[in-house]
Amino acid sequence: MEFTSASANKYLKRLQDEKDRLLRIESERSTYIVAEGEEPDPPVYDYAATRAAVSEIDDKMRAIRHALHRFNLETVLPESGLSIDEALIALAQLSGAQSVVRTLSEQQQKTRLRDRYYGGAPGPVEYLYANYDVAQAEQDYRELSDRIAALQLEIDLANQTQLFAVDL
């Protein structure tokens, strides 16, 4: 079968849903209770068939996940020059940096603190100063946001258009 990364993930979700359904049915039907003196009426359940069906789903999921991982390792994004795998790591790193820079960019260069009282007498007025250029932090934040968006779009395009094959 041929997949895009996006279609492979949707197919994996369908397989997982089917596996979960089979496991719920198995849980409900693999045992039953009979009261003393009551005639047994076991639910329909086939151990071997259920185990085989779950195993087949697991085999398909393993093959698709492996192919998807290979796709992410081997597919190089044309604009960034990164493999999808590297790009996903870069996104996490950029997001972390963006979070820090966002906080720094929201600071004022100089902030007056509340008047402090020492023993009932007003103390000197204190100021909190940013020990960096807040305007530079704002610019860096915008640049990080743009880099993240561009990388996400590049990954999305590859995930929705580039095909890979899986032997099922």
Q: Does a structural domain hold residue 26?
A: yes
Q: Does a structural domain hold residue 114?
A: no
What does the alpha-carbon distance between residue 139 and residue 147 come to, in Å, rounded to a whole number?
A: 12
Q: Any idea what DSSP says for residue 83?
A: B
Q: Which pLDDT does position 126 carry in this prediction?
A: 84
Q: Does a structural domain hold residue 50?
A: yes
Q: Does a structural domain hold residue 51?
A: yes
pLDDT average, residue stretch 36-53: 96
- In this structure, how many other beta carbons lie within 10 angstroms of the beta carbon of residue 70? 13
Q: Does a structural domain hold residue 126?
A: no
Q: At how many degrees (to 10) do helices 134-161 and 5-29 cross?
A: 70
Q: How many domains does the chain have?
A: 1
pLDDT average, residue stretch 16-29: 98
What does the alpha-carbon distance between residue 37 and residue 149 come to, in Å, rounded to a whole number?
A: 69
What does the alpha-carbon distance between residue 112 and residue 118 come to, in Å, rounded to a whole number?
A: 17
Contacts of 54 (CB under 8 A, 6+ apart): 19, 22, 23
Q: Does a structural domain hold residue 20?
A: yes
Q: Which pLDDT does position 116 carry in this prediction?
A: 59
Q: Does a structural domain hold residue 125?
A: no
Q: Does a structural domain hold residue 122?
A: no
Check pLDDT > 90 for residue 40: yes
What does the alpha-carbon distance between residue 126 and residue 113 come to, in Å, rounded to a whole number?
A: 5
pTM of the predicted structure, to 2 decimals = 0.78
Check pLDDT > 90 for residue 129: yes
Contacts of 87 (CB under 8 A, 6+ apart): 77, 80, 151, 154, 155
Mean pLDDT for the chain overall:
94
Q: Which pLDDT does position 112 carry in this prediction?
A: 87
- Predicted confidence (pLDDT) per residue in 76-123, tens digit: 999 999 999 999 999 999 999 999 999 999 999 999 886 656 555 666
- Predicted confidence (pLDDT) per residue in 131-166, tens digit: 999 999 999 999 999 999 999 999 999 999 999 999
Place of tokens 């007025």: 125
- In this structure, how many other beta carbons lie within 10 angstroms of the beta carbon of residue 99? 11
Q: Which pLDDT does position 56 carry in this prediction?
A: 98
Q: Which two tokens stand for residue 131?
A: 């020990």
Q: What stretches of the chain show up as alpha helix (H) in DSSP?
A: 5-29, 47-74, 84-105, 134-161
Q: Which two tokens stand for residue 12?
A: 């994996």
Write the single-letter amino acid at 157. L
Q: Cα 29–30–34 angle (5° rounding)?
A: 80
Q: What is the pLDDT confidence band of residue 124, given thresholds at 50, 70 and 90?
A: confident
Q: Which domain holds residue 35?
A: 2-103+131-165
